[in-house]
Amino acid sequence: MTAPAIVLVAAGPDEPAVSETLHTISASLQASRPDLRISLARLGDGKPALTDVIAGLVSRDVAEAVLIPLDLTSAATHPTTLDGIIHSPDIHLAVARPVGPATEVLNILDERVREALHRGGALEIDGLVLAAPQGGDVRGASLLARRARQWAAHHRLPVQLAVDDGTGRATASAISSLRSQGRRHIAVGSLFLTPSGSYQAHAQAALRAGAIAVTAPIGDSPHLRQLILARYAFGAMELLDGTPTQLPVDDLDSDDG
């Protein structure tokens, strides 16, 4: 029996830059794992629609698939629209946990910060902002706060968390808070998956507020691919067991101060 297929499920606007980034992530994952069948599906108005992707898998006699939400701010819940799809009589489906704000995203943000500082010719920073779009679940919000603390401890710098509503106001407010503490060389780490309109508004607001560097979206990354494959492994185990299981969430047991 072949391994279950992977379906990367992404929300967000149907914009060319967003679609290009998502297709790059999917193609890169496929290149790294040619033994797996990997598809990209979009929720909302994006194409290809998830129902069409599932129908395509069924037409190719694929028996099982794991749906992986490409959501960086939710830790345990998935879009409710998936609930009506996973009970298909024609294919056995499981929904993995979202990618979420896992510890590994800090490695990606570090890489993106270095790239942004290099582009801007900056030599040092004395403050950081960890910015993410709003819309995650309660556990995701808790983990985001923890990631901000971990990032601060790792770099020994103050880190301000900003959960942005798509206008950039939260990012600008976080930068202003650091500047009021005397910080003048502030870099912004953007926990946005794609260069959506919300990301653009956040980045522009950050620069207007005085940030010396704003990272590019997460986009394609070896760390992201590893996270996706880890979510897939647990989802495939659920299919193997044949019964729903409570998949573990990073750092669920305790929270640091």
pLDDT tens digits for range 183-226 = 999 999 999 999 999 999 999 999 999 999 999 999 999 999 99
- Domains of the chain (ranges; CATH) run 5-100+220-241 (3.40.50.1400), 105-214 (3.40.50.1400)
Rounded distance between C-alpha atoms, residue 110 and residue 150, angstroms? 12
In the chain, the largest separation of any two C-alpha atoms, in whole Å, equals 62
Measured CA distances, 184 to 3, 55, 179, 207 (Å):
52, 53, 6, 13
What does the pLDDT read at residue 243? 47
Give the mean pLDDT of 133-141: 95
Rounded distance between C-alpha atoms, residue 133 and residue 197, angstroms? 11
- Could you give the angle at which helices 222-241 and 105-120 cross, rounded to 10 degrees? 160
Give the mean pLDDT of 166-175: 97
